[in-house]
Amino acid sequence: MKKMIIFDSNAVLRYILQDNLEMADLAEKQILENDCFIPTEVIAEMVYVLSKVYKIPRQDIRAAITGVLNISSISTTHYDVSTNGLECFAETNLDFVDCLMAGYNNGGYEVFTFDKDLKKYLSKLSWNNG
């Protein structure tokens, strides 16, 4: 019987980066044998670590994390919000939390903010979507 495994950022990062093959293989085994859940907070931490510590380009971060989220045994809170946030992150200079807010906006929520850069991005989304 499959069980639900909640991944932390370190486990997913080992799987993505393949920088410790033993840990990467163990993470892959969990993914293949269980239902796995990656919380939004973990996605945010992974984005931070990949961009600030590993200096990985934003587009590559989007591709790597979206690829993991698209594995059939993996689920997350508000998949569309996370993937829209990753898309925003790849296309802009906004920080990832602001991009998640934009992801909520794309998901049908109205975002209230005083952040000028986020407001500008959201108004562009509204123009494109309306």
Residues 6+ apart with CB under 8 A from 69: 38, 43, 76, 79, 82, 83
Q: What are the tens digits of pLDDT across the range 60-98?
A: 999 999 999 999 999 999 999 999 999 999 999 999 999
Confidence category of residue 126, pLDDT binned at 50, 70, 90 = low
**Domain extent listing, the chain:** 1-77, 79-130
Say whether pLDDT at 39 is over 50: yes
Say whether pLDDT at 130 is over 70: no
DSSP result, 21-77: HHHHHHHHHHHHHSEEEE-HHHHHHHHHIIIIIS---HHHHHHHHHHHHTSTTEEET
From the options 2.60.40.10, 3.40.50.720, 3.90.1280.10, 3.40.50.1010, give the CATH code of 1-77: 3.40.50.1010
Q: What are the tens digits of pLDDT across the range 48-59?
A: 999 999 999 999
The pLDDT, as a whole number, for residue 2 is 73
